[in-house]
A and B are shown apart, each in its own frame.
Chain A
């Protein structure tokens, strides 16, 4: 427990360093654009593939489960939309991104640490924490909500395609379900969750990457710890945010 508090303390101190005033705003702006491409745009194919299949599977499972004549078929579209919007496109995609982006950040910064690149920045007088971590945080907090929106769209399209191919529901009925009892705030809730998860993934992974001293084994361990801790923290905050925003 003492170790946990010590780690939280070190994390807070690192964040204080990260959010101190940048030396040159222009440099940070350029680095944010680079990170948006590296961490956000490059994650789109993975998000698209996973979302389209999960959307299709949800629609298929709903079609099999909702066989009662008392339940209208358009509920398949409704259930697919709700699952994608409320949970999959934010929480599950965030867990997947914690694996992809989180391990990438932890190993990149960890390697920079053990090869003395971070020391070199410090010697130059550069605030290495801010220079390396802040653009990543800004990039993911801005872009991951767009990934969540993208996932919702692709997922519902996946459901539509499977509906059209298998005939479990007429495409028109599926689309009717997508419109049924639509609450725009659910999208807002999902985007806010994703922005929070983006901060969690990036800051925790950067924290573990920034800390290791030693060899490449330590970088590997830091990367694993980053993914595990980010995933658990995402789950805890998912519960907290849902309680705060939906009840």
Chain B
């Protein structure tokens, strides 16, 4: 479980997040949705520790992240996996080396054990054949899957995904969504996904938080979202004329 309480964050005097309190559940795919510029990426990066909140508290299960020392935070981060928008694989390393890096850095496993674990993770994301390739030789979908393999190699308790579907076609997006969802359930991970892809919302949105102008505007599930009466949320979810007509017919 990850919980944040009364989070405020501003940059250069401009307030980006205002008084956000929300709880994300374990074993579920938790989605943060919102328009571009609404503050959802800042919220995700604040939750993961890349930005320090101006005020408020963040809890990883029973640990208050905001009160942890630098060393304790570094320890906790070994239980965190993150999938970045562009994959963020190290360009100078192959897919295999990228996935193996966390094992090399933080475990005392033998070379054979590491090799076995890397191969397991690559098989899990169906990239067994691509371990020798460099990121520049991969398609967009393969980069995302390699990033997932790297994120899960240390069996994380918490998984953060920043727009995992950006730049992907709808079918590949659904493959990636389902992969993240399956991994979340399989390993009982607390997964937080930042997205504005409505296919993802309808496919895997077990808990959805809608952010608008830096504030939490609404929260619920993918079933609730269809019947929500929040005007801002409806304008975002049912943005096109066709979607608006579909909403009226519900």
B105 pairs with A24, CB closer than 8 A:
yes
CB neighbours (8 Å) of A186 from chain B are none
**Which residues from chain A contact B80 at a C-beta distance below 8 Å?**
123, 125
Asked if B16 lies at the interface with its beta carbon under 8 angstroms from chain A, I say: no
For the complex, give the distance between the alpha carbons of A127 and B77 in Å: 11
> B73-120: which have CB < 8 Å to A?
74-75, 77-78, 80-82, 84-86, 88-91, 101-102, 104-106
Contacts of B49 in A (CB 8 A): 123
A67 at the interface (CB under 8 A from B): no
B49 CB, nearest partner CB in chain A, Å: 8
A120-158 CB mask vs B (1 if < 8 Å, else 0) is 111111110000000000000000000000000000000
- Which A residues touch B106, using CB under 8 A? 23, 124-125
- Residue with the greatest number of chain A CB neighbours at <10 A, chosen from B48, B49, B90, B102: B90
A235 to B134 Cα, complex, angstroms:
40
Q: From DSSP, what is the main secondary structure of chain B's interface residues?
A: mixed
Picked from A111, A115, A123, A124, the residue with its CB within 8 Å of the CB of B101 is A124
Tell me whether A117 is interfacial, beta carbon within 8 Å: yes
Given contacts A123-B48, A123-B77, contact A116 B88 (CB under 8 A): yes
Say how far B236's CB is from chain A's closest CB, in angstroms: 26
The number of chain A residues touching the other chain, given as a range, is: 10 to 19
Tell me, yes or no, whether A27 is within 8 Å of chain B by CB: yes
Given contacts A24-B104, A124-B102, contact A115 B86 (CB under 8 A): yes
Docked-complex contact A120 and B77, CB < 8 angstroms: no
Which residues from chain A sit less than 8 Å from chain B, CB to CB? 23-24, 27, 111-112, 115-117, 119-127
Residues of chain B touching chain A, judged by Cβ–Cβ distance below 8 Å, are: 48-50, 74-75, 77-78, 80-82, 84-86, 88-91, 101-102, 104-106, 160
The 3 residue pairs across chains A and B that have the minimum distance between CB atoms: A125-B77, A120-B88, A116-B88
- Extra pairs beyond A112-B90, A122-B77 (17, CB < 8 Å): A23-B106, A24-B104, A112-B91, A115-B86, A116-B84, A117-B89, A117-B91, A119-B82, A119-B88, A120-B90, A121-B90, A123-B77, A124-B101, A124-B106, A125-B78, A125-B80, A125-B106
